[in-house]
Amino acid sequence: MPFKHTFLFQEGSWTAEGFFFDENGNKIPLEGKSIITHTEKFWFYDSQMRLLEGNRTEFHNSYEILPFEKYGELTTWKSNNPAIGTFNGTFVIVEDSMLSFFSSEKDNYTGYEYLLRLSSVVYKNRGCLFKGTRKISSWSTTLYKFE
């Protein structure tokens, strides 16, 4: 792997800022925080995002990730979102990027997420969530590592 990724691969805390787009394309500013911890068996990624306008909705996801094997390009994960259920997904490394594809265990949700490494402490994040063929939401954020 020519690019050394830090997001997920190193324990730490990250903040997020950017925008959430609802199913109608309305653009809403957001902020968030993520904490990544490692055990021998799993990596844990706890993510919270809060909309800064309107009803200030909060989203929470707790991921359990199988660690990437040495020089491995992909791994699987499972997450729980209290609002919409359990998801299963895959992370794939493609040079300076991490791609994630996921689907829910119930209700026909699917999604895609993209993380672009700008530096060891900054990543761009883009993603979208669908229910069937209908877009539920999308997001555009920048993640910053802090300690």
The pLDDT tens digits of the residues spanning 64-96 come to: 999 998 778 999 999 998 888 899 999 999 999
- Which pairing describes strands 122-131 and 97-104: parallel, antiparallel, or unpaired? unpaired
The CA angle 38-91-109, to the nearest 5 degrees, is: 110
Q: Can you give the pLDDT at residue 2?
A: 52
Q: Name 111's Cβ contacts closer than 8 Å, sequence gap at least 6.
A: 87, 101, 102, 103, 127, 128, 129, 130
CATH number of 12-146: 2.40.128.20
| Cβ atoms within 10 Å, residue 102 | 21
What's the mean per-residue pLDDT of the chain? Answer: 93
